[in-house]
Structure 1
């Protein structure tokens, strides 16, 4: 290992002290409580991210399981767009993009709204 690339000098002294602490600890209760609270906050953030990733994965699985008729319709639309010539897709997309502002709405995009409405395992556990 190249010692010049080590990040040991950049670490906080409390982190080094925590690594070199004995078992059972020789630190006062306040320091141990601070370490525990820091660990809990990091674990909570990790749990939140893992939960979000799991929810998105369950939605993708639901999309591929064909249990939702809207997902089936979107999949059929995607396949038909794949088979349609690029000039026709560009024409329809251009006409849609240039439609009058009076007919535009502040609703979220169709793809984002569709993906958020897909059921996750939390929805089916009831």
Structure 2
């Protein structure tokens, strides 16, 4: 079961990079470029501090909904979905 879930995630990631849906792939590439630029300009200590503060925020500030990137990636079709 776990190996199947990992394979499904790998297929989704491969589909994202293989231009099956050019609009989503273009969005992903632009997001990666922006993230690379931010990480290049910002010192690592600041990135680690902000990431740690975000990860350890109070439970009342956390959302019950999944994050937008996680939700986008979960809705992406895998090869198992296409075989049906």
**TM-score, length basis structure 1:** 0.39
> Aligned to 1:85, which of 39, 43, 47?
43
Following TM superposition, by how much is the alpha carbon of 1:87 offset from its aligned partner in structure 2, in angstroms? 1.5
* Cα distance change on mapping 1:89 and 1:57 into 2, 3 Å: same
> Aligned to 1:101, which of 53, 59, 78?
59
> Aligned to 1:62, which of 5, 10, 15?
15
Gaps of 5+ in 1: 1-44
Aligned-pair Cα RMSD in Å: 3.7
Gaps of 5+ in 2: none
Higher relative contact order (CA 8 A, sep 6+): 2
Flag the structure with larger Rg.
1
